[in-house]
Amino acid sequence: MRAAAEKIVIKLQQAGFETYFAGGCVRDRLRGVEPHDYDVATAARPDAVEALFPGRSDLVGKSFGVVRVRVQDATVEVATFRQDGLYLDGRRPSEVTFTSAEEDAKRRDFTVNALFCDPVSDRIVDFVGGRADLEKKLLRAVGDPAKRFGEDRLRLLRGVRLASTLGFEIEPETWSALRRAAPQIGQVSAERVREELSKWLCGQGSERGLDLLDASGLLVVLLPEVAAMKGVEQPPQFHPEGDVFVHTRLMLSLMESPSETLAWAVLLHDIGKPPTRRVDETGRPRFNGHETVGGRMAEKMLMRLRFSNEKTEAICAMVANHMTFKDAPQMRLSTLKKLLARPTFDEELELHRLDCLGSHGQTEIYDFLKTKLAEMPAEAVRPDPFVRGGDLLAAGLAPGPRVGELLRQAYDLQLEGKISCREEGLGWVDGLGLPAAAGGGAA
């Protein structure tokens, strides 16, 4: 990836254009972290870039001056130095103009994101004091923070996300401007918000990011259901760590490179607790049905954030199912096998482990399920059914809901080991005493 990006820089430089690596990749290399992608910034106009890489480049947005160039197996975004025009709606510049490297640095969001690097000489080009801030681990808006946040409100969320994943402090003036602008975050499109929230949630230090979201005022606007978990007390014998918010925060801190679906399931697993909380006769708080209520709440939230149906379903299923794990040791074999066969089981098991570690700390059920999982291979928990619909119809059953019911019974018996081959399955069908199918079979 780096080699491919370097080739592109060299070719543009040789054609006479000032060209650098820019943004996140420069920041990350200086932090000693391998960049996940390389962005190139150049004085060359988009048509000049296209002319230098014929057949290997696509214009992404002519008005934004970005050309995607393919070299070897990598794709690198090459952007012409630009200056953003007026922001009329707090979301997008009305136009861009092509300018110098310095102006391009100044339109970027934070000083540590505004560095350039010439990969040939390894020289850093810094117009905004980004290097000093990087050394101080400080996130500072480029220019006047209030103005910059006003131009593009997504920068509020990027600020919190970057401070959280990079482990940086937010510079005081940047922070106070961020807090003042937070109530306006609602103007940003759901897709852009979701992308940033997922990067925060899946990245390092997400628990500190949660605190920053909360303290900035962004949380109550974007995820009020999560903010509502604050101060919701739980029984101390099960939750010595504290209230529902503290518990969730602790789980975030325990996640290890989670997938997007797992991370959201962790964040949302107990959002059903605030609205279901009741205190029983003995004075103990109860949250009956919180997983079901939480699953429905999660669905609304994820739809609001425009998650795909597939991810929404997976996350909601994890939320709605998270309480069944405590019953695993008492489950009938067929129920246990069906739990193990769930498409989201691995992630659900990890959610369960984090739930335990983020509260009482006991992991017997996790250990029990790990053992069962090792004992029972995929064929054992999700075998092909011995009895099929056609067998029931051939035995004289009319098509209808009863077919599905009987197939489920047969499959449960198979999972229990009570039907252990197809012959036994057909014997079980015979034993049902269904009326012989018209015209089918012997007298």
Residues binding Mg ion (CB under 5 A)? 24
Strand 74-80 versus strand 66-71 pairing type: antiparallel
Minimum CB–partner distance for residue 311 and ligand ATP (Å): 19
Minimum CB–partner distance for residue 34 and Mg ion (Å): 13
d(CA 353, CA 428): 40
Minimum CB–partner distance for residue 197 and Mg ion (Å): 17
Tokens of 173: 């003036």
Q: 319 and 300 in contact (C-beta within 8 Å)?
A: no
305 binds, among Mg ion, ligand ATP, none (CB under 5 to 8 A by kind): none
Instruction: Name which of 24 and 217 has its Cβ closer to Mg ion.
Output: 24
Instruction: Name which of 24 and 93 has its Cβ closer to Mg ion.
Output: 24
152 binds, among Mg ion, ligand ATP, none (CB under 5 to 8 A by kind): ligand ATP
Instruction: Name which of 24 and 358 has its Cβ closer to Mg ion.
Output: 24
Minimum CB–partner distance for residue 35 and ligand ATP (Å): 7
Instruction: Name which of 76 and 251 has its Cβ closer to Mg ion.
Output: 76
322 binds, among ligand ATP, Mg ion, none (CB under 5 to 8 A by kind): none
Buried/exposed code over 413-424 (b: 16+ C-beta within 10 A; e: otherwise):
bbbeeebeeeee
Minimum CB–partner distance for residue 262 and ligand ATP (Å): 19
108 binds, among Mg ion, ligand ATP, none (CB under 5 to 8 A by kind): ligand ATP
Instruction: Name which of 155 and 249 has its Cβ closer to ligand ATP.
Output: 155
Instruction: Name which of 154 and 315 has its Cβ closer to ligand ATP.
Output: 154
Minimum CB–partner distance for residue 414 and Mg ion (Å): 50
Contacts by 359-367 with C-beta closer than 8 Å and gap 24+? 359/238, 359/239, 359/240, 359/241, 359/247, 359/250, 360/237, 360/238, 360/239, 360/240, 364/329, 365/325, 365/326, 365/328, 365/329
Minimum CB–partner distance for residue 148 and Mg ion (Å): 18
248 binds, among ligand ATP, Mg ion, none (CB under 5 to 8 A by kind): none
When CB distances to Mg ion are compared, the closest residue is 24
Query: Any idea what the Cα angle at residue 302 is, between residues 300 and 305, rounded to 5°?
Result: 110
Instruction: Name which of 199 and 290 has its Cβ closer to ligand ATP.
Output: 199
Summarize as ranges the residues that interact with ligand ATP (CB under 6 A).
23-24, 39, 108-109, 113-114, 152, 154-155, 158, 199
Q: 172 and 229 in contact (C-beta within 8 Å)?
A: no
Instruction: Name which of 70 and 192 has its Cβ closer to ligand ATP.
Output: 192
CA atoms within 13 A on the CB side of 117: 21
Minimum CB–partner distance for residue 173 and ligand ATP (Å): 17
Instruction: Tell the residue number behind the tokens 């989201």, with chain if given.
Output: 344
113 binds, among ligand ATP, Mg ion, none (CB under 5 to 8 A by kind): ligand ATP
154 binds, among ligand ATP, Mg ion, none (CB under 5 to 8 A by kind): ligand ATP
d(CA 307, CA 313): 10
When CB distances to ligand ATP are compared, the closest residue is 24
Q: 40 and 5 in contact (C-beta within 8 Å)?
A: yes
Nearest to 36 by CA among 255, 264, 203: 203
Q: 124 and 31 in contact (C-beta within 8 Å)?
A: no
d(CA 324, CA 289): 12
155 binds, among ligand ATP, Mg ion, none (CB under 5 to 8 A by kind): ligand ATP
Tokens of 369: 């399920």
Instruction: Name which of 64 and 368 has its Cβ closer to ligand ATP.
Output: 64
193 binds, among ligand ATP, Mg ion, none (CB under 5 to 8 A by kind): none
Q: How many CB atoms lie within 10 A of CB 184?
A: 14
Residue type, 256: E
What DSSP character marks residue 32? T
Q: 275 and 214 in contact (C-beta within 8 Å)?
A: no
299 binds, among ligand ATP, Mg ion, none (CB under 5 to 8 A by kind): none
Minimum CB–partner distance for residue 2 and Mg ion (Å): 14
Instruction: Name which of 108 and 290 has its Cβ closer to Mg ion.
Output: 108
Q: How many CB atoms lie within 10 A of CB 290?
A: 23
Q: 160 and 213 in contact (C-beta within 8 Å)?
A: yes
Please compute Rg for the chain using Cα positions: 29
Minimum CB–partner distance for residue 7 and ligand ATP (Å): 20
Minimum CB–partner distance for residue 24 and Mg ion (Å): 4
Instruction: Name which of 42 and 334 has its Cβ closer to ligand ATP.
Output: 42
